[in-house]
């Protein structure tokens, strides 16, 4: 018996019928950039302490 990978339908999970708009994509990318910057700051602080 073969095991097939399960694929998630993100639009269904999010409850959206239409794809995200350009503004929504931009907002999401800003959030991701902010999280990456915060993560890098934490790594820099940890490396300075060591």
Summarised one tens digit per residue, pLDDT across range 1-20 is: 667 677 766 655 556 677 78
pLDDT value at position 47? 77
Residues 13 and 36: their CA atoms lie apart, in Å, by 25
The residue ranges of every structural domain in the chain are: 21-49
Percentage above 90 pLDDT, the chain: 36
| Residue 14 pLDDT | 55
Q: Give, in order, the Cα–Cα distances in Å from 33 to each of 5, 10, 42, 47.
A: 30, 21, 14, 21
Residue 33 neighbours by CB distance under 10 Å: 10
How large a percentage of the chain has pLDDT more than 70?
Answer: 72
Give Cβ neighbours of residue 11 (< 8 Å, ≥ 6 apart). Answer: 17, 19
């Amino acid at each position: 018996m073969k095991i097939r990978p399960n694929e998630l339908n993100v639009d269904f999970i999010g409850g959206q019928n239409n794809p995200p708009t350009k503004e929504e994509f931009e907002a999401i990318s800003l959030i991701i950039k902010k999280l990456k910057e915060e993560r890098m700051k934490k790594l820099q602080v940890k490396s300075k302490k060591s």
